Amino acid sequence: MANEPKFALIKKHITDQISAGIWKEDQRVPSENELAEQFSVSRMTARRALSELTDNGVLTRSQGLGTFVASLKSQSSMLEIKNIADEVKERNGEYSAEIIALEEIAAMAPIAIALGVDIDSKVYRSVIIHHENGLALQAEERFVAPALAPDYLVQDFTQITPHEYLSAVAPLTEAKHTIEAIMPNQDVCQWLGLYNEEPCLQMIRRTWSANGIVSFTRLISPGSKYRLGGHLTFKKRVR
């Protein structure tokens, strides 16, 4: 801890205050100047801590008003693929995973088409529930092309996420996804511990490596616990 960078200590202080419920949603947090004075650091160091927490969706900044605790819904970017374990850890949460299924199946037509393989050919299927602080955050049902990840079924996905593993053995070159609101079926309610039906956010994603389609994935999160966001910067047109 003694060798930990000062900006990291500031980030931990802020996330600890939020996790403990001391700083509430939409509450203003100390300014760069106030944090710089409190931690005896430069304003630039304090700014880095606030900026990184803002980028991670923990804080939100309003020009001229200050920096505030963001909505307590977990946030993921629509514009990039991030590892969910990293997202949780960036919020100073405790990540864990539960494996529901890890098996070889015969590809039905929709799965075969999505993976670009023959109908009834063998593909790998996993169902994993991602947790944050012990609560189900996201259900991931993934279908994988065995030719591009032959050792998929022998991985311990409580220690490494499928995204991490596939990124290592079949580096991502392209991804396409669609996002929609759905009402969960009985399986999804059981996976996510939903006792009262509530709308969920579903993302369907296909990923490619240089050698072809790697996976076809369905990611489902309770609408009350998850949201998607992004930030775009547009170049000014030269007149």
Domain termination site, one of 15, 46, 69: 69
Residue 157 within any structural domain of the chain: yes
Q: Are residues 222 and 167 in the same domain?
A: yes
92 and 203 assigned to the same domain: yes
The CATH number of whichever domain residue 114 belongs to comes to 3.40.1410.10
Q: Please tell me the pTM assigned to this model.
A: 0.65
* 130/87 Cα distance (integer angstroms): 11
Q: Please report whether residue 60 resides in a domain.
A: yes
Residue 92: closest CA among 27, 19, 20, 30: 19
Chain mean position to CA 207: 16
Question: Token pair for residue 161?
Answer: 């996420």
Which tokens hold the place of 155? 């991985």
Residue 237 forms part of a structural domain: no
Say what the pLDDT of residue 234 is: 46
pLDDT, mean of each 10-residue run, the chain (239 residues): 79 83 86 93 92 80 81 51 81 90 95 90 97 92 96 96 92 84 90 84 89 92 67 48
Residue 129 located in a structural domain: yes
Same domain, 14 and 62: yes
Q: How many domains does the chain have?
A: 2
* Interatomic CA distance for residues 56 and 75, integer angstroms: 8
Q: Identify the domain containing residue 33 by its residue range.
A: 6-69
Give per-residue burial for 68-78: e unless 16+ CB within 10 Å, then b.
bbbeeebbbee
Question: What amino acid is encoded at 31 in this protein?
Answer: S
Residues contacting residue 10 through CB under 8 Å, at least 6 positions apart: 35, 39, 41, 45, 46, 49
Cα 115 from Cα 86, distance rounded (Å): 27
Q: What pLDDT sits at residue 174? A: 83
- Taking 3-state DSSP, the helix, strand and coil percentages for the chain, each rounded to the nearest 5, stand at 30, 35, 40
Same domain, 115 and 131: yes
What is the predicted pLDDT for the residue at 41?
Answer: 92
- Which residues are CB-contacts of 176 (< 8 A; sequence separation ≥ 6)? 205, 206
What letter represents residue 223's amino acid? G
Q: Residues 169, 214: contact at Cβ < 8 Å?
A: no
Both 60 and 121 in one domain: the answer is no
214 in the same domain as 111: yes
Q: What is the CATH number of the domain that holds 65?
A: 1.10.10.10
Q: What value does the CA radius of gyration of the chain take, rounded to a whole number of Å?
A: 20
Q: 200 near 221, Cβ under 8 Å?
A: yes
pLDDT of residue 80: 55
Q: What are phi and psi of 159, to 5 degrees?
A: -110, -25
